[in-house]
């Protein structure tokens, strides 16, 4: 009888010990999973910053080289606005080999969405963005034809204000104090150049043509800001892909549509008939003429990879901030290659642009740190 009375407490104790052991195992497993999750998050953070650095370098280098060579084309005898426009988009075939990279194949197979958009929706998206791209490139070509390169590059910074406005409506962009500070500084940086005397610049032009160039450049900047916001919206609402293929598709199909439209304008305007004569009269020779056009095309494609990549990884506004940061860089090279004067106003403009860039990057650092804290 004593034995029968002692069995239930012993069984209960064994059951409690077993439950306690299971809780300890679960606790160890959760801690291990938490450590693994933290490690994965840190790896993703490092990878993200590495990609952002690469895309930023592509954007800044491509933009600077292409802009300076575009000015060189005009200065040495080129005068076809349509040819200067088409070279901004026609270089997309050089990106096709990127589809065969091993890293692309692995990411493509692991990020397949179940309900892809229809061919009609995709065609309409790429055609619409291509139309905006073609119009913007033409307006930029006219602006670069009639404005000194330093003035042109820094007027382009107005695209930041337009993009901020469109991002607020289309992309639900939140404006923190650091972002507002960045936008204000970058806008002031470009606005200062309005007071710059360009009479000694690389391209003195009549007042009427200067006004045309100014208006076209501002209009192109507005169109570019709209295109960036719509591109981000398309990534979020239509493509819904976290793959490198999404970036390549966006650049290649959009550029294909823009190339087709600009080609129609080139032949309809009749400018193609004078291209042979233009090549013959180019001051640096035929070979240099071809090389300048080829490298303009390559530069703008490198820029496109950086711009679309930053939209994909961050936002259209961030891509535009980086682009605006690069605009004050161009006058430095213009001073060297085109003998544009480097005045105190331009120096202040560049310092403000760098300050604005650092402010924006710091906001992303805070967002990233808060995100990591919330996951722990």
Q: Are 225 and 159 in contact (CB under 8 A)?
A: yes
pLDDT at residue 211 tops 50: yes
Query: What is the dihedral angle through the alpha carbons of 338, 341, 346, 348, rounded to the nearest 10 degrees?
Result: 140
Q: Count the neighbouring beta carbons within 10 Å of the beta carbon of residue 277.
A: 9
Q: Which pLDDT belongs to residue 142? A: 93
How far is residue 191 from each of residues 16, 157, 187, 375, measured CA to CA in Å?
74, 8, 6, 42
Q: Is the pLDDT of residue 82 over 90?
A: yes
232 within 8 A of 168, measured Cβ to Cβ:
no
**Where are the chain's structural domains?**
50-101+117-198+210-369
Q: Are 186 and 324 in contact (CB under 8 A)?
A: yes
Q: CA-to-CA distance for 192 and 180, rounded, in angstroms?
A: 18
Q: Is the pLDDT of residue 279 over 90?
A: yes
> In this predicted model, what pLDDT tens digit does every residue of 341-370 receive, in sequence order?
667 777 787 788 778 777 777 776 777 677
C-beta of residue 24 within 8 angstroms of C-beta of residue 264: no
Mean pLDDT of 256-271: 94
Which of the pair, 121 or 243, is modelled with greater confidence?
A: 121
Q: What pLDDT was estimated at residue 2?
A: 45
Q: What's the whole-number mean pLDDT along residues 185-198? A: 67
329-341 pLDDT, tens digit per residue, is: 776 777 777 666 6
State the pLDDT at residue 368: 64
Q: Give the residue, 130 or 313, on which the prediction is more confident.
A: 130
Average pLDDT in the 153-174 region? 76
pLDDT for 321 equals 73
Asked whether the beta carbons of 306 and 62 are under 8 A apart, the reply is yes
pLDDT at 139 over 80: yes
pLDDT score for 322: 79
Per-residue pLDDT, 373: 57
**Would you place residue 200 in the very low, low, confident or very high pLDDT band (cuts 50, 70, 90)?**
very low
Quick check: 55 pLDDT over 70? yes
Q: Is the pLDDT of residue 293 over 90?
A: yes
Q: What is the pLDDT of residue 85?
A: 94
Q: What is the reported pLDDT for 114?
A: 58
pLDDT on residue 298: 93
- Is the pLDDT confidence value at 40 over 50? no
Q: Which of 294, 240, 315, 264 is nearest to 88 (CA)?
A: 294
The whole-number pLDDT of residue 9 equals: 56
Residue 11 confidence (pLDDT) above 70: no
Mean pLDDT, the chain, as a whole number? 78
């Amino acid at each position: 009888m004593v034995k029968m009375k002692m069995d239930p407490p012993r069984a209960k104790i064994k059951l409690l010990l077993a439950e306690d052991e299971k809780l300890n195992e679960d606790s160890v497993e959760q801690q291990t999973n938490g450590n693994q999750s933290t490690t994965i998050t840190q790896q993703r953070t490092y990878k993200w910053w590495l990609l952002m650095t690469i895309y930023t370098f592509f954007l800044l280098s491509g933009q600077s080289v292409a802009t300076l060579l575009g000015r060189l084309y005009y200065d040495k005898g080129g005068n076809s606005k349509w040819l200067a426009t088409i070279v901004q988009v026609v270089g997309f075939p050089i990106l096709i080999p990127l589809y065969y990279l091993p890293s692309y194949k692995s990411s493509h197979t692991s990020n397949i969405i179940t309900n892809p958009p229809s061919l009609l929706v995709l065609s309409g998206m790429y055609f619409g963005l291509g139309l905006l791209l073609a119009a913007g490139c033409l307006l930029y070509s006219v602006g670069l034809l009639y404005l000194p390169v330093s003035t042109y590059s820094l007027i382009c910074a107005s695209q930041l204000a337009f993009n901020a406005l469109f991002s607020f409506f289309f992309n639900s962009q939140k404006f923190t104090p650091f972002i507002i500070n960045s936008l204000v500084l970058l806008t002031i940086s470009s606005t200062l150049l309005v007071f710059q005397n360009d009479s000694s610049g690389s391209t003195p032009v009549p007042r009427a043509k200067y006004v045309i160039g100014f208006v076209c450049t501002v209009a192109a900047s507005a169109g570019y800001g709209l295109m960036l916001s719509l591109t981000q919206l398309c990534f979020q609402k239509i493509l819904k892909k976290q793959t490198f293929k999404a970036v390549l598709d966006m650049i290649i199909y959009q550029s294909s549509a823009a190339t087709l439209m600009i080609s129609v304008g080139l032949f309809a305007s009749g400018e193609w008939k004078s291209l042979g004569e233009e090549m013959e009269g180019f001051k640096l020779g035929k070979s240099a003429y071809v090389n300048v056009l080829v490298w303009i095309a390559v530069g703008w494609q490198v820029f496109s990879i950086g711009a679309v990549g930053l939209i994909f990884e961050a936002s259209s506004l961030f891509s535009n901030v980086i682009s605006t940061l690069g605009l004050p860089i161009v006058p430095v090279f213009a001073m060297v290659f085109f003998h544009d004067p480097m005045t105190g106003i331009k120096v202040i403009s560049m310092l403000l642009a760098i300050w604005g860039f650092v402010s924006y990057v710091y906001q992303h650092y805070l967002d990233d740190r808060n995100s990591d804290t919330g996951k722990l």
